Structure 1
Amino acid sequence: MKCNDLNRAVARATGDTAQTIKHRGFGPDLNEQAGPYLDWDIADLERKTPLFP
């Protein structure tokens, strides 16, 4: 999907103009595929440390 197509799709969904969306800087998340992630929910489950023993 090209940036203009994305702007038009967001504009249709929000009711704004494509120019407004472009001006606000909406775009795809470029860091979506960057490096490993830490899921804090899983990390908390793995620790299983009671607050009060």
Structure 2
Amino acid sequence: MIQQALDRLVASATGDDLREVRRLGFQLADPDQVDYDPEPLSIQPHAIDWDEVDRHRNIRSCN
């Protein structure tokens, strides 16, 4: 697939202007290039343990 065809398909699917799609720089991913973009499963989830936060927040001061 050539870049122009990819840009037109993305613009058609998203409803965005072709210039905007070109500015964003969509390109085909190479499955053999593993360091191109991290897979969702290899990224650690971002989570906050609110119980742990509350434990630190609810410490009485000795004043």
TM-score range, shorter chain: 0.5 to 0.7
5+ residue gaps, structure 2, are 35-40, 42-63
TM-score by length of 2: 0.48
The structure with the greater share of residues assigned to helix is: 1
Point out the structure with max Rg over C-alpha. 2
CA RMSD, 1 decimal: 1.7
Indicate the percent of aligned positions where both proteins have the same amino acid. Answer: 31
Q: Could you say which structure has the greater relative contact order, defined with CA pairs below 8 angstroms and 6 or more residues apart? A: 1
Q: Quick one: distance in 2 between partners of 1:15 and 1:34?
A: 29
Alignment length, in residue pairs? Answer: 35
Q: Which amino acid aligns with 1:3?
A: Q
Structure 1 gap segments, 5+ residues each:
41-53
